[in-house]
Structure 1
Amino acid sequence: MNRYDEVLVALRRIIRATDLHSRQLSKVSGLTSPQLLILQLLRQHSELTVGEVAQRVSLSQATVTTIIDRLEKRALVKRERGSSDKRKVYVYLTDAANAVLLNAPKPLQESFVQQFQDLHDWEQTMILSALERVAYMMDAQHIDASPVLDIGRLDRTDGNL
């Protein structure tokens, strides 16, 4: 096998692992990875605006607004205007979200992050450099992406993988 074929196989394995995990997450919890990431973020921080959520998950505010709209329809989050500044709208978890989070599997990136952090600094730099180069070679350097291992549209409906 040519080296480029080996690289393409490795990329395909990464994509496939992400796909399988996303399907398992959706099957078990009914959530997409970005939805789970946002719910976990809201659990860690008691009071965030949509803009603050977007900034922390590295997604556009429009994408996060759509995701939060879907979570609100499922009664997993609620929005409330700030008491001191009525222009600000904060997003909060509901009790239903806390129950869902108890049973939700860990995001795929949690395992990756732990193993990545165990690597030496030079190994981390090599991996980052190689992946950035691959993204550039695939003309993907300008694609809006968050640190969420998931496939499909980030604001898709729950049943639509």
Structure 2
Amino acid sequence: MGKEKKEKRKSEGGEEVEEKDGKEAWIEKTKYLSPISKPLAPRKLTKRLYKVIRKAQSKKNIVSGIKFVQKSIRKGDHNGIMILAGDVSPIDVISHIPVLCEENQIPYCYVPSKTDLGAACGNRRSMSLLIVKPNKDYEELFEECKSEVENLPMPV
């Protein structure tokens, strides 16, 4: 088929470390998913979601953290996309959120890594969940992601 893509980079210690290409990294991240993390966003949708998150963060249109997300849902902010991390441990911390989303017709999906979710927000800390709200500046990308998230197969 084709050659494997591996990039060499310098680690903090100074030695060279090989990085895996996209598919191998994706498989590595999906190893640590919890059993309830369905619907999981595919690789391309995950990249687009991270892009929307970066744009929304610059406009301050993100609600992050369990406490603030619950408050936002209770108040009735129903026009965003809920994004949850699939590797949260213990999973009991966020296991009630999908039920709230389904009751309030909020589209939601899981992404494989909480560290990548935090990095997309420009934060060094990992994030377990967040809501991305729409804005005029990234409206087209937001609507595209929202429709794809709504079309993901829901768990039975």
TM-score (norm 1): 0.28
Question: Which structure is larger by alpha-carbon Rg, 1 or 2?
Answer: 1
Comparing both structures, which one devotes a greater share of its residues to strand? 2
- TM-score, normalised to structure 2, is 0.28
